[in-house]
Structures are given as C-alpha cells and as structure tokens.
Structure 1
Amino acid sequence: MSQALGICLRLLENSRSSDSVRNTAAATFRQAVALVFDRVVLAESLPAGKFGFGRQLSRTSSVTGDVNRSINLSDSLDHESTCGGPLVMRETLTETGKLGLRLLEDLTSLAAGGSAIWLRVHILQRTFALDILEFILSNYVAVFRTLLPYEQALRRQICSILMTSLRTNAEVEGEAGEPSFRRLVLRSVAHIIRLYSSSLITECEVFLSMLLKATFLDLPLWHRILVLEILRGFCVEARTLRILFQHFDMHPKNTNVVEGMVKALARVVSNVQ
C-alpha cells in the first residue's frame, strides 16, 4: 500500500511527468486515501449508516452539502455524549486503523514541508497534502471523535501546523504565502471549529482569536475577504453559533468569541458605509 501511494506522489512531483500523468496520479492518490479511510471506518466498527463514508471525492460535489452532512455526524456524536455520559475514546486500533494513522501522520508531515517516512516521499507540494488533509477532516468526523490516536494527531500535529500557517504577523514567503495555500488553511480551520469545537476547546479558542485578530490587520484584500466570509458563515449557522456561545461566551474563563465576531463584522460594515 505504501509503495503504491508513494509512486503516485513521486509521479506527481516528477518534473518529467506530463500533465496527464500528474492529473492521473493526483486523482488516484485522492481516491486511494478515501478508500483507506472507508476501510478504517469499517474495521473500527464505526456504523456506516450513521457516520457516513467519504468515498465521493469529486470536487464537483456540493461543498454546502458535504459540510451539512459532516455537521450532522458531529451532532450525532455530541448527542450520544450528552445522553450517555462522556464520550469514551478508544485507544487501541486495528491493523487497518494503524495503517490509516500512518497515512495521516505522513500527510501531516508533508503539509508542514517535511518528509513522509511510511510513504517514503521526501518532498511534496504542501498545498496538495493540505488539500487531502482537509478532505479527511471534513468527511471522517467519527474517526477523530472516537479513536484517541487520531484525535491526538489532530490536536498535536494538524492543529499545530494550522496555527503556524495562520500567523499573519509577518510576510509569508514561498508556497505558504500563496492564496491557494492560505485558502486551504482557512478552510481547514473552519472545519475544525465547526466539527470539533466540542472536543478541541482550547485549540478552537486560539483559532477564533487569530481569525478575529486578522480583521484588524492590514492584509491583502483577498485574505481579509476569506477571513470575513468564514466569520460570517459561523454567524449564519445557528448550530455553530449556539455551540460557540455555549463553549466560550457562557464560560467566564473563556474568550467571548461570538461577541468578538459580531463586533468585527459590525466594524467592517460601519467602515464600508
């Protein structure tokens, strides 16, 4: 498995590969990742009918529909936790679960600009790796909410990369400063806030504070628009707004993130007028 996936990535990065070869390699890798995580869901006995599968990896599918389905999955887990007590995280993994975790850790390393040990790939476009990570995060919520090793990888590795990439206090050079990469970072952060804020409270509080801070900074127009669009999305989604208010504004020790979002958007509107 690792050899086959590694070949796809090496073909993707090979300067001698034609456009058709690169496109085929990228599409094959994407579908293979979806199949691997579908098998993780089955092997770990996560109910398919309830938590769903991410087999459809077409970019022509409805983004809104995908987000709504993932939100429903997260709501199901939150409901079970409320009715049955604290959600019990499973520490042990099947062999298939371990394979999926190695793949996730390698993709995380590649998205950070490092190398992949299991895939035996030393370099890959960070944008491509982050694109695959975003797909996994948004389509396999139950994996991260149920399996402790995956939750730890999300908390300690993926969130760390996104926090570093989200920093805007200095000019970012190279691929990390390109609009396509910044867009994927912001979309991934939005997915984590929407789908995992119940379990990653501290990380989501940091993300939200960084997004609010970005509205005060002198950023390129496209960057400001992306940040404002994410904040607006949170404000018009009743479920997201309710959860954020419950976890943050209603707790004296936490940041009033909903109040901060409303004030940030109001300030932008008043400046436009």
Structure 2
Amino acid sequence: MAFVSAVTGDDSTKKFMEVLQSDFKTLSLETKKKYPQIREACDEAIEKLSLASNNPQASLYGVVNQILYPLVQGCESKDLKIIKFCLGTIQRLIAQQGIDAKGARHVVDCLFNLGQAGVLELKLLQTAALLMTTSDLVHGDTLARTMVMCMRMVSPSESRDVSTSHAAAATVRQLVALVFERALAEADGTLKVNPADIRPQTNNKAPKDLKPCAVDAYLILQDIIQLVNGDSAHWLVGISDVPKTFGLELLDTVLTDFSPVFFKIAEFRFLLKEHVCALIIRLFSPNVKYRAAFTSLHIPGAGAGLATSAGSAAPERPHFPVTMRLLRLVSVIVHKYHAVLVVTECEIFLSLTIKFLDPDKPMWQRALALEVLHKMTIQPNLLKAFCECYDMKPHATNIFQDIVNALGAMCELVRAST
C-alpha cells in the first residue's frame, strides 16, 4: 500500500492530498444547502488533510479512513450527481492504494447498499473491480458481499439493460479468476495474507485447514456448484439462482485456468470429484431421457420399454446452450484431470459422449459430440491413456473400441446419406 505507508512530505503524496482537498471542497459546495451534515464532514476532512500536509512526518495512513466518512455519507444521499462524484473520489483513493482493510469493508458496504437500490450499476461494478485488482484486502464476508452485488446484476431486468448485465458477468468472471489466482499464489507461498485483515466468517462451510485465500476460492466454487444445481448459495447470501449457462461458464474458467489449485489442495479435488462431476452427470439426464422418447416416437420397431405411457409426463427436452457447455466441461475434465483425479467419472462422461453419436440423436447433439471426440482423438497420449485405463482392464468399458465403433458408424451414416 504505497501511499498509506508514505509520509506526507513525499512529493507524490503531497500532490495526491492536494487533489483530495480539491475534491472535498467541490463536494462541500455541492452539499452546502441541501446536505449540511455532509458539508460539515467535508470541511473536517479538508482540515485533516491540510494538517497532515503541513506535517512532513505525518502518515497518510490515519487520515484516509477518517476522510472516507463524508464520501460514504454522500453515497447515502440519494442524489445521483453527488453519489457519482463520491464514487469517483473513492475510486481515486482505491487506485492510489490509500485504503486499508477497514476502509475496504466500509467501501464494500457502501457499494452493496447502492447496488440494492439499483443506482449507477456500471460505476459500482467498476469500483468493485478496481478495489479487488489493486489490493488483496477483500476477503471473507466482505468478498462475499462484493460477489453478491455483482452477481445480482448478471440477470437483465426492467430497470437494467443488457449491456449492464454483460458488464456484470464480465466482472464476476474477473473476480472469480482473481480469487483463484490468490489461492494459487498462497499455495505456492508467494502470497501471505495479514491475519489482522481477516474477520471470522458467518457462513463459512470450508474445511478448517484451508488458508484464507483458499477458503475464499473454496466457498465460491462450492456456491457456484450449488447455484447451477438449482440450490441456494451457502456463502453468497442473497443469491438464490444464476443463469445455468453462466454458472457452467464459471466452472469452465476455474477448471481450465486453475488446474494447479486442484492438484495442490486436496479439498478442491474432493469438490471436483464428489460435486462437480456429480453435477455434470445429473445435468446430462435430459439428454439421455430425450433419447429414449426420441427413439420411441421416431424409430420404427422401438422397444416398448422405451416408450412413454400416455399418462406419464413428456421427458424434458435437452437445452442446446446447457448441453454445449456441459460437453465443454467434459472435454476439460478429461484432458486435464483424467489420469490423476477422476478416472471412474471420466468413463461415465466418455460413454455418454459416445452415445450422443447414436443415429436417433438430434443432429446438433451429434455435432457437439463429434467436436469433443475430435479434440480427444488427435492426442495420441490421451488415446493411449484410454486404452490403459479402460480397454486393457478387466470388467471395464472398452472406451477406445467404443469410440472407434461410434465414429465408424457415423461415417457410414454420412456416406449413406450422400
């Protein structure tokens, strides 16, 4: 925290404090008539900054938290012009690393309240991203509130346009990636969090042996799984659902970009094996059930066991965007985690993917499956692993042979139709 630790005699710090004094003078004039309490707080902030500037040995550390007060008050004023100005000054403080852990909590609380009111959402997203990317002060419940504020903006509403929802989705992806980057750096020993910056968490369901950054990453991953599964979040209090496709994309980002976290930390391997893989298998269910219905309705001579009775509900149709992202996850897991972590689960995934090539499947499912299998079959080492783990083992599924047979049948089908 460069400016916090600097003394006010430093030239760059002096310039920064002059800019702050100018900001507070402007805010004082804006609030003079309508919000006298904010004007008084601004005048006090100007006085504190002036005293600190005149004392070459004074540190900015003790001043910044005190001058946050009028900015937070301004954000509570419900005056959009004042709120926008105060957020701009808060962003300036954050960019200069002039906020400590306590100040960060005040800022997040302020952003969270504004988010609930639906005020200046793009500005709130910018401020949250800036706070997270310029320091490592936001952890635990404060991080959870930041994530909740951003995730609530992902879904479009009557008062929220699509561009804001897209910006919110991009911000959430950025924050999730940042949390996992910290967990990886912590596991490598290149990042250590000050214990004084961490407060006890109210909804901490993470294993006790995890370090602070790993706890944050674990709780986020756990809640993403919960939300994609249609359940309420444990840690991200206030989030009951997210678009399924968005949740699957977050899982894709984590599994693709942060595989070392899963290899280095046992608790993450447990989440992958017991929860992520189980979620994928469950979400594949509509594709399997729809296959049975499709067979009975469109294939002459289909077995009676596959037919749905007149009184039973029609199977849920597979959803293309969800299926596409599920197969992408399958591809990532097979490529990155097959040999070490989830051999049994990968056998199930591969068998399901191969069945997508059956002639009674919709063409789009076959096209998606072909794309996934193509990525696998062009890797000799992966094919060798399939033979060693499955085809050459007694009582195991002949995955390699099934892939060859399925691709051969697909080629024959294409040839016959041309």
TM-score (norm 2): 0.52
Deviation, 1:46, is 7.2
Aligned positions, number: 229
Q: Which amino acid aligns with 1:207?
A: F
Q: 1:249 aligns with which of 385, 388, 391?
A: 391
Q: Deviations over 1:223-244 (max 9, x none)?
A: 1110122112211112221222
Q: 2:289 aligns with which of 159, 167, 170?
A: 170
SS at match of 2:218: helix
In the other structure, the counterpart of 1:44 is 187
Q: Deviations over 1:16-67 (max 9, x none)?
A: 211221111111111001110000001111789xxxxxxxxxxxxxxxxxxx
On the 8 A contact 1:109/1:115 being kept in 2, the answer is yes
Q: Which amino acid aligns with 1:195?
A: K
In the other structure, the counterpart of 1:238 is 380
On the 8 A contact 2:156/2:162 being kept in 1, the answer is no
Q: 1:154 aligns with which of 272, 275, 282?
A: 272
In the other structure, the counterpart of 2:344 is 202
Percent identical across equivalent pairs? Answer: 29
Q: Please tell me whether residue 227 in structure 1 is matched to residue 227 in structure 2.
A: no
SS at match of 1:270: helix
Q: Please tell me whether residue 118 in structure 1 is matched to residue 235 in structure 2.
A: yes
Q: How does 1:180-199 map to 2 (within 5 A)?
A: 180-198=321-339, 199=341
- Greater length-normalized contact order (CA 8 Å, ≥ 6 residues apart): 1
Deviation, 1:217, is 5.6
In the other structure, the counterpart of 1:24 is 167
Q: Which amino acid aligns with 2:289?
A: A
Q: 1:8 to 1:173 in 2, by over 3 A?
A: farther
Runs of 4+ deviating beyond 6 Å: none
Q: Which amino acid aligns with 2:337?
A: Y
On the 8 A contact 1:232/1:265 being kept in 2, the answer is no
In the other structure, the counterpart of 2:155 is 13
On the 8 A contact 2:245/2:321 being kept in 1, the answer is yes
Q: Which amino acid aligns with 2:319?
A: E
Q: Which amino acid aligns with 1:170?
A: K
Cα separation, 2, equivalents of 1:262 and 1:47: 46
Larger displacement relative to structure 2 (143-152 or 124-133):
143-152
In the other structure, the counterpart of 2:203 is none
On the 8 A contact 1:106/1:117 being kept in 2, the answer is yes
Q: Deviations over 1:166-224 (max 9, x none)?
A: 232323648xx321111000100111111111121111111111122222262221111
Q: Please tell me whether residue 99 in structure 1 is matched to residue 241 in structure 2.
A: no
Larger displacement relative to structure 2 (96-105 or 210-219):
210-219
Cα separation, 2, equivalents of 1:47 and 1:142: 14
Q: 1:145 to 1:253 in 2, by over 3 A?
A: farther
Q: Please tell me whether residue 258 in structure 1 is matched to residue 407 in structure 2.
A: no
Q: 1:245 to 1:261 in 2, by over 3 A?
A: same
| C-alpha RMSD over aligned residues | 1.9
In the other structure, the counterpart of 1:268 is 410
Cα separation, 2, equivalents of 1:262 and 1:92: 46
Cα separation, 2, equivalents of 1:97 and 1:213: 38
Cα separation, 1, equivalents of 2:151 and 2:337: 29
Cα separation, 2, equivalents of 1:244 and 1:151: 21
Deviation, 1:268, is 0.6
Runs of 5+ unmatched residues, structure 2: 1-142, 192-207, 291-314
In the other structure, the counterpart of 2:225 is 108
Deviation, 1:247, is 1.4
Compare CA radii of gyration and give the structure with the larger one.
2
TM-score (norm 1): 0.79
SS at match of 1:12: coil
